[in-house]
Amino acid sequence: MRELSGELNALIERVLGAAIEVHRALGPGYLERVYEEALAVELSLRGIKFERQYPVSVVYKGHPCGEGKLDFLVEGERILELKTVEKLEDIHNAQVLSCLKITGLEIGLLLNFQVPVMKDGIKRVILSSH
């Protein structure tokens, strides 16, 4: 796994700051869609470029098999997956890893807003190259 660049770390910190601000203002207890909308507002206010519900094609052995959507694609290269669950499970991590594989991207952030303190709901997911 390679070291993250200073620029990438700075972007991740800005995105996490936006998520923390949303959580600070709203707290836990809302549906995922509410946090998605609020995070879109906060990212915009911070000048961070993003696309919501970004479509991705699933291809198996060269054949299209279906489509999925990323909650957020940030700056064209980072995946944000939002959750409102009591506890992040292995399947949530696997979901982000699958998205990283099909997009060819390296890093995703899994954000769970259903926690008392947002720092406890943040997980970096990095696609290893093995």
How does pLDDT run across 83-113, given as a tens digit for each residue? 999 999 999 999 999 999 999 999 999 999 9
pLDDT given for residue 130 in this prediction? 47
Task: List the beta strands (DSSP E) in 1-130.
Answer: 50-60, 63-74, 78-83, 107-112, 122-126
Mean pLDDT of 68-83: 94
Regarding pTM above 0.85, the answer is yes
* Rounded distance between C-alpha atoms, residue 36 and residue 9, angstroms: 22
What are the residue boundaries of the structural domains of the chain, listed by start?
A: 6-126
Range 6-126 has CATH code 2.40.128: no
pLDDT given for residue 111 in this prediction? 98
**What is the β-pairing status of strands 63-74 and 50-60?**
antiparallel
